[in-house]
Amino acid sequence: MPTYRAPRGTRDLLPETKAGFGRLEGIARSLAARYGYREMEIPLFEQTAVFERGIGEATDVVEKELFRIAPRTEDSESWALRPEATAGIVRAYVQHGMQTLPPPVKLTVVGPMFRYDRPQAGRYRQFWQWDVEAIGDAGPAVDAEVIDLGRRFYIEAGVADVQVLLNSIGDSACRPAYLERLKAHFGAHADELPALERRRLETNPLRLLDSKDPVMADLIAGAPLITDFLCEPCRAHFDSVKAHLEAMGVPYRLQPTLVRGLDYYARTAFEFYRSGAEGQQQALGGGGRYDGLVELLGGRPTAAIGFALGLDRVLLAVEETGGPVAVAEPPLAVVAGADPADTVSRLRVAASLRAEGLAVRAELGQRKLARQLESASKEHAHFAVILGDELAEGQVQLKDLEAGTQRLVPLVDLARELARAAKSHHHG
C-alpha cells in the first residue's frame, strides 16, 4: 500500500484515460463551434453565496455536497469549490454586463466540478463536465436546439442508444399550487416517510419524486404529476418544445417525475440516459431552463437554458458499449545511431525534426544499433533515422520500418521527406 494516495472519490487520469477525455473534449469543442457557443473559463471556486443562492440552499448539492474552503483569517469571505458551472457562468454574465450582447449569449465551459458525494462507479468527488448555456432566449425553439446539441454529442462520441427524458416542471405561476398538492399527497403518509424524506416534505417537496428509497416507490407512483398542473403559458411552451423536437426527428420520452436536483429550473427539464439505465441514478447528462437565475444573481430578468454532460460517465459508457477509444500515437520516427555513444548527434537531429513539427523520439541510451531498431519497431514507429558515417557528408539513412526498405537522404531534406511520408501514410 503506497503512503500517499489520491483523495477518495478523485481519479488520476492516466494517459490512456486522458486521451479518451481529450477525444470527448475535442467533440464537445467542435460541436460547440458548429452550434455557435463560445468557450470561456470561470474560477474553480466562487463565493459560497453564488451556489447557495443560485443552486438553492435546500438542495443536496449545497446542503451536503459542497466543498467549502476553510475561511482564512485575513478575509471574511467564504468560498466553495464549484459543484457545477451554471451558477458561475451566470455570475460572470451579470458581472461583465453580457446582457448588452445580442441574445442569446451562448457560452460553454469544459472542466472539473467538485461534489462531496459518496463515491461509487461513475460518481466522483471531482468529475468533468461539458457545460453549455444559451442565455437570453425564452424558447421554445432554443430548447429543442439545445437538446439536439446534447444528443448529437453522444452520437459523435459513439455511445449507443442514449435517450432523452423530457419534462416540464412549470414556473412560479403554476408550481406553487402543484407543490401544495404534492405536500398533501406525501403529508398524508408522513409517518411512513423515512426521516430524510419527511424533512424534504418541508424544505424541498419536489425532490421527493426523485427519492431512491424503496419505501417511497409506491407513494411516488401515486403522486400527482406536475404536467397535470401546468399553467397555460407553460403548457403551450412545453407543447411547442415537443413539436420542435418531433419536427427535427429528435426522439424523446416523457418522464413526468423528472425534477432535477438544482433549484433554479423552470419549465423544460431533461436528462440523458442510456436505454435501460434510467433507474440507476447514472444520468449521462442533464439540464433545463432556468429563467429566474440571472435575476437571482443580480441581473435583469433573463430567460436561459442549458445542460451539462458528465464526461467521466460518457467515457465509461463509450468503453462499455465498445465505442471508439483514443489510442496513443506512435512516433513518426526514431532517431537511432551506429555509434551508441554519440547521443549529441541524435539529439540534434531529433530537435531539428521536432522544430519542423514532427513527432520523433531520439534514442538516448547507449545500446547497439540493432537493439535501437528493435525497440523502434516494437513501438510501431514508421521510420528509423539512422546516423552513421554518412553524417559527415550531411546524409542519413532513412529506414521504412514497415516496408523494410532503406535509402540515403540528405539531412537538409529529411524533415520534408518525413513530412511527405507521414502525410501519404495518413491518407492511405
Q: Does 303 bind ligand HAM (CB under 6 A)?
A: no
**Near ligand HAM by CB under 6 A: residue from 131, 145, 171, 363:** 131
CA angle 131, 137, 138 (to 5 degrees): 110
- 305, 146 contact by CB (below 8 A): yes
Pick one of 48, 67, 99, 123: the residue that binds ligand HAM (CB under 6 A): 123
The answer to whether 329 touches 359, Cβ cutoff 8 Å, is yes
Query: 124 or 154: whose CB is closer to ligand HAM?
Result: 124
Closest CA to 261 of 46, 63, 419, 45: 63
Residue ranges in 14-73 that form contacts with ligand HAM under rule CB under 6 A = none
State the residue number with the nearest CB to ligand HAM.
310
Q: Which stretch binds ligand HAM (CB under 6 A): 96-104, 179-187, 279-287, 295-303?
A: 279-287
127 binds ligand HAM (CB under 6 A): yes
Segment (H or E) for 383: strand 383-387
* Selected binder of ligand HAM within 308, 317, 326, 418 (CB under 6 A): 308
Residue 133 in contact with ligand HAM, rule: CB under 6 A: yes
Task: Tell me: does residue 261 bind ligand HAM (CB under 6 A).
Answer: yes
Cα Rg for the chain, rounded, in angstroms? 28
Closer to ligand HAM by Cβ: residue 259 or 308:
308
- The residue among 50 and 85 lying less far from ligand HAM, judged by its C-beta, is 85
Comparing C-alpha atoms, which of 278, 257, 178 is closest to residue 211?
257
3-state helix, strand, coil in the chain (%, to 5): 45, 20, 40
DSSP state of 314: H
Contact present, 187 and 201 (Cβ < 8 Å):
yes
Using CA atoms, how far residue 356 sits from 42, 332, 351, 382, 416, in Å, is 35, 13, 9, 17, 9
Strands 68-69 and 79-81, by their bridges, are: antiparallel
Residue 64 CB, shortest distance to ligand HAM, in Å, is 12
DSSP type of residue 241 = H
Mark 82-121 with x for binding to ligand HAM (rule: CB under 6 A) and - for no binding: --xxx----------------------------x-x----
Out of 42, 59, 107, 129, the only residue in the binding site for ligand HAM (CB under 6 A) is 129
Site size toward ligand HAM, by CB under 6 A: 27
Select 127 or 178, whichever has its Cβ closest to ligand HAM: 127
Q: Which residues bind ligand HAM (CB under 6 A)?
A: 84-86, 115, 117, 122-124, 127, 129, 131, 133, 261-262, 283-288, 290, 306-308, 310, 312-313
